[in-house]
Amino acid sequence: LTNITKKEEEGCFVSDTDPFEIVFYSNLLNTYLYNTDRINSQDRSSLQCVMMELLLNAVEHGNCGITYDEKTEWLANGRNMLDLIAKKRKDEKVAAKKIYIRYHISKNIAKISIEDEGEGFDWKKRMSEEISPSTHGMGIRMSLAMVKGMQYNEKGNKVSFEMEMRRDTSNFTPVILKSQEIVWCQHMQ
């Protein structure tokens, strides 16, 4: 879904609870902002990192309902998180859940939100806890340092943040991509 005016763009991607699908949508939005000279290489790396952290949280902890302790135990036993996600997705209720990636791009700022259909979490408690280096659990704090205005809804199943748009960026983008028109796409096109 996309709505475009001369000054602003907004839209929403709807993803299944699928780690590979969220990579697609994260890359699509990130590459679009980079190729249209709205973010530079450093911003691109930061945005990709933040989106993947928050989208993986939406898959793992949101829609799949994987707890911190369950993930800790799974990883401590040398297992791959993709296997645990695949196991959880065998449940029809989990498999039916969606993740919503909304964006609003203006001249100066891109506002992005990620919402899952999970139970949410106590983000206030998580933000006030002391963190220590471990195999996981630092993504939210790391994301806070890379973007502006990051905040959760009360339930804890929706996070939003902002990324400043640059006016002085000229990225290396193939010429063929510079003159392309916006097209309407269906799911996973």
Q: Is the pLDDT of residue 138 over 80?
A: no
Q: Is the pLDDT of residue 175 over 80?
A: no
pLDDT of residue 124: 72
Confidence of residue 135 (pLDDT cuts 50, 70, 90): low
* Dist CA 177 CA 156 (whole Å): 38
Q: Is the pLDDT of residue 136 over 70?
A: no
Structure tokens at 160: 């939003």
146-159 pLDDT, tens digit each = 899 999 999 999 99
DSSP assignment string, the chain = -EEE-SS-EEEEEEEES-HHHHHHHHHHHHHHHHHTTSS-HHHHHHHHHHHHHHHHHIIIIIIS---HHHHHHHHHTT--HHHHHHHHHTSHHHHT-EEEEEEEE-SSEEEEEEEESS----HHHHHHS-----SSS-HHHHHHHHSEEEEE-SSSSEEEEEEEPPSS------HHHHTPPP----TT-
Say which residue, 135 or 100, is predicted with more confidence: 100
pTM for this structure?
Answer: 0.83
Say which residue, 113 or 146, is predicted with more confidence: 113
41-98 pLDDT, tens digit each = 899 999 999 999 999 999 999 999 999 889 989 999 999 999 999 999 999 999 999 9
* Dist CA 81 CA 157 (whole Å): 20
4-39 pLDDT, tens digit each = 555 788 999 999 999 999 999 999 999 889 888 889
pLDDT of residue 1: 47
Query: Average pLDDT of 86-114?
Result: 96
pLDDT of residue 121: 85
